[in-house]
Structure 1
Amino acid sequence: MTGRRRSLPRPFSSAPTVATASAVVCTAAIASLLSGCGSLAGASEDAGGKAPITVMTWAPDGTKATNMPGMPAMAQAYARWVNSRGGVRGHHLKVLTCNEHNDSVTAAHCAQRAVDEGAVAVVGSYSQFGRSFMSPLEVKGIPFIGGYGASDEEFESPLSYPVNGGQAALLAGNGRQLARDCKRVALVRPDTIQGDQMPSLLNSGLESGHRRPAKDIKAPEDGTDYSSEVNRALDGVGADPVLYGTAAAGGKAPGSCVTASLGDHTDAFFDSFRRLQEDSPKVQVASVLGSVGQSLLNRTGGRSGPLEDADITGWYPVAHDPRWDPMRKVINDFAFGDNRIDAADQGVQTTWIAYTVLRSLIEQLDDAGVEDVTPHALQTTLDRGDRAVDTGGLTPKLRWRDDDMLAVQDFPRIVNGMVTYQVVRDGELTSAKDGFVNVTRTLERRRTDS
């Protein structure tokens, strides 16, 4: 299946019109970065004679489900960094932020605010509600660059330019990773529309390794105790203490694996898992980055926690890879001790990569003699793809031409089918395999009825 395209109206005007009142109200303190109204970074009007460029980054914060406060915070730090160097080719960068609260109505409001305040792009953002936020952007032709990949529309809309393979690549990769050792797999996932896609994605990876489909365990997205789901998962892989008896306690359940992807509540699942595993044969556990990260490993006991030896699938190199050094320096120098920014967080990493793409696009326009950076100019540069975007090895070089779209059912805008295999060793995320793993063929062969 090739990338689907829809005709979109061109914007009548894309001249930036930043609301002065909003800037005065919303830049009072760094703590306001994720308030409902958001804030600006790099609001200086001195841009070397060139007009400043306004963009927006949004993400949920302070909710009962998944939170990504580090993404807008990283965007703010990035703006402070480039503006300290005179901007991007003389254009100072203004970053609007918005807390979309894991709510479809608020996500739409964030998108409309980007339109109203003259943003030329939405960059490095997280929201599950693509249906709500893409429509306002499409009407005005505003590109959505490097979203987290949490909604289907990010891989369908011709105005979306993803930098990773989203949930699809992670789950397919996790299935392939588990297929090496697991005869029986249980998947614990949210009982949501997004969660409903997870079984077929994981199973595409399992089936590529000639394993049978995973046992599908639905769970509340905002649960605090997952004992019931743990018991169902253990039963689904033949590792329940009732089946094995107390004589097997502390032993291994050969080929039995449980993988969980519950966003911020994955830690609550593994807390329940740890308590119930004390009387069960040990099973292999797994997850995907974004649901599991170094901070979670630290909170759950490190090397003595339930995630020791876990198989983890991510999009990017491990956090201590030297390719992340430029991002770490920006965080150290320009985040002012902002504890929302964790350099090991995939949301923060995605925002860094998305702003790297934006910077490359502005430089390409400048090389072509174009000083007026508009949504249409960015979209044309992205679609034409005269120059691939180099992210410093954090992803393959990126382009979004029609020929670059992968033939993945339901996700026609994917251009990057690479993942990384990681494993928890001594409480730390480390590389399980050098380099990237290409799951494109696995995704293309996926059966949606599995």
Structure 2
Amino acid sequence: MTGRRRSSPRPFSHAPAVAIASAVACTAVIASLLSGCGSLPGSGDPGEKEPVTVMTWAPEGTKATNMPGMPAMAQAYARWVNSRGGIRGHRLRVLTCNERNDTVAAAQCAQRAVDRGAVAVVGSYSQFGRSFMSPLEVKGVPFIGGYGASDEEFESPLSYPVNGGQASLLAGNGRQLAGNCTRVALVRPDTISGDQMPSLLNSGLHNGHRRSAEDIKAPEDGTDYTPQVTAALDRVGADPAVHGTAANGGKAPGSCVTAMLGDHTDAFFDSFRRLQEDSPRVHVASVLGSVSQSLVNRTGGRSGPLEGAYLTGWYPVASDPRWQPMRKVINDFAFGDNRIDPADQGVQTTWIAYTVLRALIEQLDDAGVEEITPHALQTTLDDGERAIGTGGLTPKLRWRETDMLAVQNFPRIVNGMVTYQVVRDGELVAAQDGFVNVTRTLERRDTDGEG
């Protein structure tokens, strides 16, 4: 059954009043009772359009990976567009939900979105796609621009990803390391999601004619990774010539360790630093999301273990001027919310996802559609009459069947681009200009099993 055949209820016309991010307080006492705060949807001026309600969820305050910046970015975005009169006159209402890194909580967030009339879930993070996609599919609510942490985001006809998810990051990291490392160890979480990582990384390594990485499992919520560091160093060996070509003027490649443990990657590199102090250097690597500029700063900057690290991301480096519109919105409308780090890939993904939502609403308005429903959004996404630009942060995006890449197991990927970055003098910088297309690498991984 295709997504576009699903019908959806009229959005939230009888939804209960809830506390939402886009609520605007009165700034003055108005003597006349003809207008005021707290009016019901559609009860303003004669020309006022129905508000658009969406939801953004992410885990916060858990022992594993947390993404509090994603709902915070969504709230700032709503304040920004509403300060400008909304999106073509539609005020944006953002519901948020703590997904708690829990399968039950993920399903509850999705059901809450449906119950409260959300026309889409936008820019959210969850590993539990099987739990959250079902309630959305039942009501035909599209999932736009998720983080890409679950398989279902690249399988469900109601999902519209803006990046290539974990698959593209790992394949890209493998290709990046293939040019700099002869031996690689992968330290990854001992989870269902983690079980996919070795073959994805190996697809990139094999593309560069390197052998498969040593696979080292680790607890997702660990605080001391000494056993995993020891195992990684033992398996790849310690080559005194190992410093990588990008960081040391072209010396021969050698041993590398890449760690992808989300929020707990910092604990891994802390253990790594302590164990490698008296041994020859082994180069380190990771992906954006597991490593950030704030982590580089916390671990010692240019004198820390991440100096020279090879990193793969989805988007341009955080200092790229293409992020300036997002930074201005954060500066002007986040009101000092320290949950929002403009260099965080979750925050960046949320910005891009809401950019897509805004373009969709504008397309519907241009077509004379006044009521923004889940079905209207889904139909516009599936038809893809106009490609959606993101200011150069991604390629232009469409989700027609002809736009889907031929990546088995990930049939909804439409963007197979990644970027290569490196930590140089304590700063995350671009390792090369432009995007790297890993689509063919992913395709070969599917054809050849492990790469």
Verify: 1:226 aligned to 2:225, yes or no: yes
Q: Secondary structure at the match of 1:23?
A: coil
Shift of 1:279: 1.9
- Residue of structure 2 equivalent to 1:372: 371
2:55, 2:96 within 8 Å by CA — same for their partners in 1?
yes
- Residue of structure 2 equivalent to 1:309: 308
Task: Write out aligned runs for 1:161-310 (5 A).
Answer: 161-239=160-238, 255-310=254-309
Shift of 1:101: 0.2
2:173, 2:311 within 8 Å by CA — same for their partners in 1?
yes
1:226, 1:269 within 8 Å by CA — same for their partners in 2?
yes
Q: Distance in 1 between matches of 2:409 and 2:214?
A: 22
2:114, 2:135 within 8 Å by CA — same for their partners in 1?
yes
- Residue of structure 2 equivalent to 1:51: 50
Q: Secondary structure at the match of 2:181?
A: coil
- Residue of structure 2 equivalent to 1:83: 82
Q: Distance in 2 between matches of 1:139 and 1:185?
A: 44
Q: Distance in 2 between matches of 1:438 and 1:416?
A: 9
19, 24, 38: which one aligns with 1:23: 19
2:301, 2:426 within 8 Å by CA — same for their partners in 1?
yes
CA 1:208–1:15 in 2, change beyond 3 Å: closer, same or farther? Answer: same
Shift of 1:238: 1.3
Q: Secondary structure at the match of 1:183?
A: strand
Deviations 1:264-291 (A, max 9, x none): 0000000000000112210111000000
Letter of the aligned partner of 2:262 in structure 1?
G
Q: Distance in 1 between matches of 2:287 and 2:163?
A: 14
Unaligned runs of 5+ residues in structure 2 are 26-37, 241-250
Q: Distance in 2 between matches of 1:9 and 1:400?
A: 16
CA 1:43–1:161 in 2, change beyond 3 Å: closer, same or farther? Answer: farther
Deviations 1:42-99 (A, max 9, x none): 9986585100000000000000000000000000000000000000000000000000
Q: Secondary structure at the match of 2:169?
A: helix
Q: Secondary structure at the match of 1:13?
A: coil
Shift of 1:235: 1.0
1:253, 1:283 within 8 Å by CA — same for their partners in 2?
no
2:322, 2:392 within 8 Å by CA — same for their partners in 1?
yes
Q: Secondary structure at the match of 2:348?
A: helix
Q: Distance in 1 between matches of 2:432 and 2:235?
A: 29
Shift of 1:371: 0.8
Q: Secondary structure at the match of 1:74?
A: helix
2:7, 2:139 within 8 Å by CA — same for their partners in 1?
yes
Q: Secondary structure at the match of 1:175?
A: helix
CA 1:24–1:209 in 2, change beyond 3 Å: closer, same or farther? Answer: closer
Shift of 1:26: 12
Verify: 1:411 aligned to 2:410, yes or no: yes
Verify: 1:14 aligned to 2:10, yes or no: yes
Q: Distance in 2 between matches of 1:368 and 1:28?
A: 29
What percent identity do the matched residue pairs reach?
Answer: 80
Q: Distance in 2 between matches of 1:177 and 1:334?
A: 37
1:57, 1:72 within 8 Å by CA — same for their partners in 2?
yes
Segments ≥4 residues shifted beyond 4 Å: 5-9, 24-29, 41-48
Q: Secondary structure at the match of 1:224?
A: coil
Q: Distance in 2 between matches of 1:104 and 1:89?
A: 36
Q: Distance in 2 between matches of 1:377 and 1:205?
A: 39
Q: Distance in 2 between matches of 1:279 and 1:44?
A: 66
Unaligned runs of 5+ residues in structure 1 are 30-40, 242-251
1:208, 1:442 within 8 Å by CA — same for their partners in 2?
yes
CA 1:42–1:236 in 2, change beyond 3 Å: closer, same or farther? Answer: farther
- Residue of structure 1 equivalent to 2:159: 160
CA 1:43–1:277 in 2, change beyond 3 Å: closer, same or farther? Answer: farther
Q: TM-score by structure 1 length?
A: 0.91
- Residue of structure 2 equivalent to 1:358: 357
Q: Distance in 1 between matches of 2:109 and 2:177?
A: 38
